[in-house]
Amino acid sequence: MSTHYTVTATPQAEESGSVALAVASLPASYGPVAAGEAARISALDGAAGWTAEAIKAIDGGASGIVVVNPVPENTAALLNAAEARGVAVVLDQRWASNPGLAGAEDAVRTVAGRAAMLDTVATAAAGADPERLLTEHLAAVVRVTGQLDALRVLHRGTHGYTVSARLANGAPVSLQGVLSNSRPAGVDFRLYTDDGAVSIAVPEPLAAWPAEVRATGPQGEILLPTVYESAHRTTWRRLKEHLDAGTLPSDLVGFARLTESIAHLS
Amino acid sequence: MSSHSQATSLGSPQPLGVGILGAGPVTQAIHLPSLARLRNILEVRHIMDVDAVVAESVAARVGANHSTSMDALLGDPDVDIVAICSPHQFHADQVIAACRAGKKAVLCEKPFAMSGEEAARISAVSEETGVPIIVGAMHTFDPGWLAAEGNWGDLPENVHTIRSSIVLPPNARFEDFATEIITRPAGGTPDYSDIEVIKNALRGGIMGLAIHDLPLVRRFTPDFEDLEVLQARHVRPFGYVISLRSGKQGAGDRIIELRAAMNKTWKPEWVFEAISDDAALRMDFTPSYVQAGSAVATITRGSTSTTYGPFEHNGYEGEWRELAQLALGTKQPPSAESLINDLTFAIAIADATVDVAAAEHANSHAGAHS
């Protein structure tokens, strides 16, 4: 029988991470903490200063931490604290945490050596912070491509950005951010090869809309099995798996690389 | 001689006679099938190609005269409308000759000239002779585009982002669905380490492929003379990643993203988007060559989308319908200024793109040896 974990969330994390909904959808694993007791799991918002907040939660005895939409920040101290105390820290990232990306990683890796071009567009509402959009966008992209070479901002402004990069085989990469209320928020990812493509459409985590991953080759097009689970719920399920198995997730290590990439862009 | 006069019923108006300069795959797979759908208004009467065998063979398919010289076609009194489908470098002189031959209308495949000077010469002759000219930028004649144009309201004034994304299988895939091709240009094996190859590929990509969408881009780009190339990269085997900014930064500037990949895929995608804070246009065009109907236009305002199309004919057929109207004098021709501006825009992008690619190559070359 697996352990049942109590959860507490900051109001900001609750709002950005729909924590109550995600926890309610995993009732055998999680539940609210009783008044006056310390929760075993803390959910934090990823606004600036989140690493310090996470360290405080570890010091307060948390067994696991969920950070919703973290902004780039030095994670070294947090990583040390988490490893020293055996605390699982998972990141609930807007698009990178979508469960459909697991299949997408395989689909992309299979053809990456033959890539001719990667064109990806992230859309968010008009007035959103383009810097934050770029972080969320890049996190989703590098999850399926691995690290990108020669990242360079070509333009950034109030309506979006264009960033160029290269895949490992030298193929051009273009990341574009668009701020508009007339395109659905999400990430569109198209990797073209010599004879086909992999396309990925990642929706918002607000609902259990599935990512759509399509692999196109000479024999036709395959829609990978759709996963009707929101990125939020996936994150919480993943945390539970780590807690039960006693393993530490690699989220912070990956996020440190992302932070470094973003820092070099600025 | 063709038998057009015998084929026309008594009392019905004569179809207009069409002569085509150049009988390559575009003529065979695009124009002849389009014209076959418009036999009540247009009739192919003369096919010219420098290859006599090709000219005769293609002409025989439609019962037309054939020749190997432009003068023979322009001197054919049965030809009312001239379509110029020859290699790019001949376009300007042939357009001018067709105007001077007193034809009723001229269609010139894009680009209609390779320099601003050529374009100005064409404009002057068109004005002098009164012969209307249209350029074969087929998407501007697509009923889906025309429907969007009638319904997009103030979108052109408010757009901040424009995207053209083209993914195409090899032309042969669609040519073979459209007709039975008798000639194809030979392919080569380019040396991608040679910057001249890359420069030619980028220029060819813009003047041969992007140019289909550049008149659409220009509709949303008021300051089209103020262009900055943010990146210009070649995509193998043929394609491009080009980012542009038009206008002054922060003062109503537009970001223009052009993408193209021609590979061995079977799946075509041809999407044009114009996006503002509160509205967006998306055009999904059908592939060239096949008669797959019009584009579908989707205009979104907030979370409400309205779709226009698909309509039953594409932009190529739209071009021919327009030509017939121009030749009959029932429609006003596009302004010469608009055609020149479209061309100037394309040439400016091509020139700047090639310059940027060359500079980046030089920098990387210097870096590799430093």
Tell me the per-residue pLDDT of A107-141, one tens digit each, with 9 for 90 and over.
999 999 999 999 999 999 999 999 999 999 999 99
Tell which wins on pLDDT, B182 or A122: A122
Quote the pLDDT of residue B9: 42
Tell which wins on pLDDT, A264 or B81: B81
- List the single range of A178-192, A227-241, B83-97 with lowest mean pLDDT: B83-97
pLDDT band at B285 (very low <50, low <70, confident <90, very high): very high
B56 lies within 8 A of chain A by CB: no
Q: Is the pLDDT of residue A1 over 60?
A: no
> Under an 8 A CB cutoff, do A181 and B265 touch?
no
d(CA B47, CA B70): 10
pLDDT band at B357 (very low <50, low <70, confident <90, very high): confident
Q: Which one-letter DSSP state was computed for residue A33? A: P
In angstroms, the separation between the Cα of residue B109 and the nearest Cα of chain A is 29
How many CB atoms within 10 Å of residue A133? 22
Tell which wins on pLDDT, B26 or B250: B26
DSSP bridge pairs for B67: B48
- Superfamily (CATH H level) for A101-223: Dihydrodipicolinate Reductase; domain 2 (3.30.360.10)
A153 lies within 8 A of chain B by CB: no
- pLDDT tens for A198-224 read 999 999 998 899 999 999 999 999 999
Q: Is the pLDDT of residue A41 over 70?
A: yes
Residues of A in contact with B161 (CB under 8 A): 159-160, 176, 178, 180
Percent of chain B at pLDDT above 90? 60
Quote the pLDDT of residue B4: 43
DSSP B255-295: EEEEEEEE-S-S--EEEEEEE-SSEEEEEEPPPSSS-----
Residue of chain A with shortest Cα separation from B234: A172
- pLDDT tens for B294-323 read 999 999 998 899 999 999 999 999 999 999
By the 10 Å C-beta count (0-12 exposed, 13-18 middle, 19+ buried), B154 is classed as exposed
Q: Count interface pairs A-B at CB distance under 8 A.
A: 111
d(CA B82, CA B326): 12
The domain spans of chain A are 5-95+231-263, 101-223
Quote the pLDDT of residue B178: 81
Q: Is the pLDDT of residue B2 over 70?
A: no
First to last CA, chain B: 69
- Which of B236, B250, B276 lies closest to A116 in CB terms? B236
Q: Is the pLDDT of residue B184 over 80?
A: no
B255 lies within 8 A of chain A by CB: yes
> Under an 8 A CB cutoff, do A192 and B301 touch?
no
- Which of A157, A180, A218 lies closest to B250 in CB terms? A157
> Under an 8 A CB cutoff, do A155 and B263 touch?
no
Percent of chain A at pLDDT above 90? 94
A180 lies within 8 A of chain B by CB: yes
In angstroms, the separation between the Cα of residue B358 and the nearest Cα of chain A is 16
Quote the pLDDT of residue B337: 81
Q: Is residue B111 reached through a cis peptide bond, with omega within 30 degrees of 0 on the bond before it?
A: yes
> Under an 8 A CB cutoff, do B236 and A154 touch?
no
Residues of A in contact with B261 (CB under 8 A): 116-117, 192
Tell which wins on pLDDT, B299 or B236: B299
**Chain-wide mean pLDDT for chain A?**
95
> Under an 8 A CB cutoff, do B230 and A174 touch?
no
**Chain-wide mean pLDDT for chain B?**
89
How many CB atoms within 10 Å of residue B134? 20
Span B354-364, average pLDDT: 83
Quote the pLDDT of residue A113: 93
User: For helices B336-368 and B195-208, what crossing angle results, to 10°?
Assistant: 160
A197 lies within 8 A of chain B by CB: yes
B158 lies within 8 A of chain A by CB: no
- pLDDT tens for B109-132 read 988 888 888 888 888 888 899 999
Quote the pLDDT of residue A7: 96
CATH-assigned architecture of domain A5-95+231-263 = 3-Layer(aba) Sandwich (3.40)
Q: Is the pLDDT of residue B366 over 70?
A: no
Quote the pLDDT of residue A229: 95
> Under an 8 A CB cutoff, do A159 and B267 touch?
no
Q: Is the pLDDT of residue B5 over 50?
A: no
Length of chain A: 266
B233 lies within 8 A of chain A by CB: yes
Q: Can you list the alpha helix ranges (DSSP code H) found in A45-201?
A: 50-59, 76-85, 100-111, 130-145
A115 lies within 8 A of chain B by CB: no
> Under an 8 A CB cutoff, do B267 and A164 touch?
no
Its pTM stands at 0.92
Span B155-168, average pLDDT: 95
Residue of chain A with shortest Cα separation from B259: A119
Tell which wins on pLDDT, B73 or B13: B73
By the 10 Å C-beta count (0-12 exposed, 13-18 middle, 19+ buried), B14 is classed as exposed
In angstroms, the separation between the Cα of residue A166 and the nearest Cα of chain B is 11
How many CB atoms within 10 Å of residue B90? 16
> Under an 8 A CB cutoff, do A126 and B277 touch?
yes
In angstroms, the separation between the Cα of residue A15 and the nearest Cα of chain B is 22
Please report, for residues A37, A214, A233, B316, the alpha-carbon distance to residue A21 in angstroms, rounded to integers and kept in the order given: 21, 29, 8, 53
Quote the pLDDT of residue B200: 87
Q: Is the pLDDT of residue A266 over 80?
A: no
Residues of B in contact with A221 (CB under 8 A): 267
User: Which of A114, A121, A153, A180 best probes binding to B when mutated, by most B CB atoms within 10 angstroms?
Assistant: A180
In angstroms, the separation between the Cα of residue A71 and the nearest Cα of chain B is 25
Quote the pLDDT of residue B121: 87
Quote the pLDDT of residue A213: 98
Quote the pLDDT of residue A142: 95
Span B184-210, average pLDDT: 83
> Under an 8 A CB cutoff, do B300 and A183 touch?
yes
- pLDDT tens for A49-97 read 999 999 999 999 999 999 999 999 999 999 999 999 999 999 999 999 9
Residues of A in contact with B239 (CB under 8 A): 116-117, 192
In angstroms, the separation between the Cα of residue A220 and the nearest Cα of chain B is 8
> Under an 8 A CB cutoff, do A116 and B231 touch?
no
